[in-house]
Amino acid sequence: MLTGNAGIASQLNINKNFKDVPGLSFFSVSNISSKWNEQNAKDAMSQFNLAYEFVKGFRLFGGIHYTPSTGLRPSVMLLYSYVKEEITLVIGPRIDLADNSNLEGFGMLEYKPKLNDQWKIYSRLQGLYARSVKNGIHARSYLMVRAGLSYKDYSFGIGANFDAYGPERIIKNNYGIFVAARLFK
């Protein structure tokens, strides 16, 4: 969660393997941002997917993607993940399987070098660029930046979200402090 000058932004990620089916998992991401002057959050995105790892690090996703402006849409995504103790890299494209679909490119890089057994430096860059397939215009883009410390499963520090919406690229940035927690392993 980022609390900043313009409002609050939150992200919830779920990535759980099915116990009895090797390679199959459930993956979900939800983002909600609300400006301080809004009664109801106008910026929201949720996706719910079944994923199958067909080669180490490569997963194919199929599921539902939701935003208030586009509604529910079936979508597919190919995602590559490289995960080591100090570094995590995730990249991949996603496309809606509907009329007026969007094509997205997503990337995330975390760098977490150890300071000692319980403390780490925490840094994260996460970005997205989405275009309309039909007419090629900009739909949404963002860059989320985090820098701070981690203590066991908790991270905190300073952060910024740089957001651009629609063909006019309406800018809605937010700067502040963040906290994050890993709830399950």
User: What is the β-pairing status of strands 154-165 and 138-151?
Assistant: antiparallel
pLDDT, tens digit, 9 for 90 and up, residues 133-155: 999 999 999 999 999 999 999 99
pLDDT, tens digit, 9 for 90 and up, residues 41-66: 778 999 999 999 999 999 999 999 99
Max CA pair span of the chain: 52
pLDDT, tens digit, 9 for 90 and up, residues 23-44: 999 999 999 998 898 877 778 9
Q: Average pLDDT over the chain, rounded to whole?
A: 94
- Give the single-character DSSP code of 114: B
Identify the CA nearest to 144 among candidates 122, 173, 120. 173
Cβ(95)–Cβ(78) below 8 Å: no
CATH of 2-181, picked from 1.10.3470, 2.40.160, 2.60.40, 3.30.230, is 2.40.160
Cβ(168)–Cβ(142) below 8 Å: no
Distance CA 102, CA 121 (A): 35
Cβ(31)–Cβ(44) below 8 Å: yes
Side-chain-side CA neighbours of residue 150 (13 Å): 22
For the chain, give every domain's residue range. Answer: 2-181
Q: 185 pLDDT exceeds 80?
A: no
pLDDT, tens digit, 9 for 90 and up, residues 84-116: 999 999 999 999 999 889 999 999 999 999 999
Residues 6+ apart with CB under 8 A from 52: 23, 24, 25, 59, 60
Distance CA 93, CA 74 (A): 14
Distance CA 72, CA 75 (A): 9
